[in-house]
Chains A and B, each alone.
Chain A
Amino acid sequence: MDNTTRYQRLLERYQNGDLDRRSFLGLIGAAGLAYGLQTPFARYAAAQEVTQVRFDGWGGVVSEAFREHAFDPYTAATGIDVVDGTFGGGDEYLARVRTSQPGEYNIAHLSGVFDYARYHNLELSVELNEDNIPNLQLCMPALSEAFRAISGGPLSCVPYNYGTTGIAYNRAHISDEEAQAQGAGLLINADYEGKIGGWSDWRTRIWYGALQTGQDPNNITDIEAVWDAVRQHRDLALRYWTSGAELMNLLAEGEIHVTEGWSGRIFALQEQGHDIGYIDPPNGFGWQECLFVIAGSPIEACEELLNFMLEPATSIAVAEGQNYPPALDPTRVDLGAKIPTLPAFDPTGTLDHLTFANPDYWNGNEQEWSETFSRVQRGY
């Protein structure tokens, strides 16, 4: 029985009157004290016998798909429970991991290759034994190679899905032809002042600033021009959205007519019947997500779980739920009917048509650019 269930049963007894208030609070306090005292030493016990693995992801349909297709079968096969948590953003999650005890967090559904590099640089990576993850062979090599380049060969994650951050627009106000013709420039078109949105993420703002000034996002030569483009967008924008849910709400409610958007979220809006167009401009922002094993975790148990999560049935169910193509190689695995219709899907399995951020380049500029963006956003 896990701690949550224990607590719920205790609470139920208290609410039913089977337990007096003093005893209830006493037991809760004792449990808290015991947990606080044992935590620094829990990892040694955990090293001896693995009883649970913690997975953290984005929640929603993804977690439900993981629970049904991977976690429950994994628990049935191994007897190891999977505790799944959620996070609102990669930065917030990294802050949580950094303040935790080793082994407290095990596997995370991380965004981009940046995060992989950040975790690796902070010595939070491990070396996975790929022989224990046979389903990794079904994934597109192009995705794994990006991670190998950072950690010098071994992997601390398995690739899981990919997508793009393209331009989403309301077809009632902006035609497909206009969107295609203007590309990234649509986001700084003064005709749409007050109806433009954008993600509050500094990387995306700079990436699109580079596209708007005709520069290669992985080799920006005139950063001042990029900041000017970011300022131009800021002054025209109504809102910097901070989550996928907010992005969808702003577009669906007609608050904004054009913004960058995550391919899967825009596809979900289209599925709901909203007349929203989506294009990836030349050099549009491609990204991939991975399942990362954090240092201090029970490696073999995590490898086994990763293999369950990479099972084609699980990967496809998750992909169909979140509308992002899976990392599975479409030339080797039948991905069904829906996935080939998703935005950013690459039937060749090479991903040559997508531009990914160079992690060395972007992480090398992270400190300076993220701090400067904070100022530019506020009118500087």
Chain B
Amino acid sequence: MIWNLRSWSSLALLASLYCHASIADTAGHPQGHIILSLTGAVQQSNRTDGGLHFDFEMLEQFPQHSFVTNTPYTKHPHEYRGPRLLTVLEHAGIANKQLTATALNKYSVTLSGSELKQAILAIRQDGKKMRIRNKGPIWLMFPLDTVPGLDKPDVHQQMIWQLRSISAQ
């Protein structure tokens, strides 16, 4: 167990060092299909439109977190995995801004509250890439079952699925 913890944390450390370096290297160059765009007051961009855009692989290069949880929108508990929302926002320098998340179907919601620290951008469900038909490719996910006080309507409302973009003001 001790070994596991150590090995995971050192891996995570390595991964974070690597991804900082790699994004710095490859900023503005998502190789695949763009699934997330950060727009507005972003500190760095990788396109001429001023936004910071990510494909699946880029998001997977951030340190990955995972947990198992039920949601009001699913029948069974699933394991969700992806980078912390805050890590990605900090990377773009918009962690402290006012944020509006918008989905593929144009549903949008304001992101706010201390609960956001717990949120991940889930890109895998039970190890598999999430498809649009299963609320992918990105589902803003909270560990509702494991962290007390999260399982409430305010949080449920922010669990935007088919997340496509986040704009910062």
Partners in one complex: no
Task: Write the residues of chain A forming the contact surface with B, with a CB cutoff of 8 angstroms.
Answer: none
Task: Write the residues of chain B forming the contact surface with A, with a CB cutoff of 8 angstroms.
Answer: none
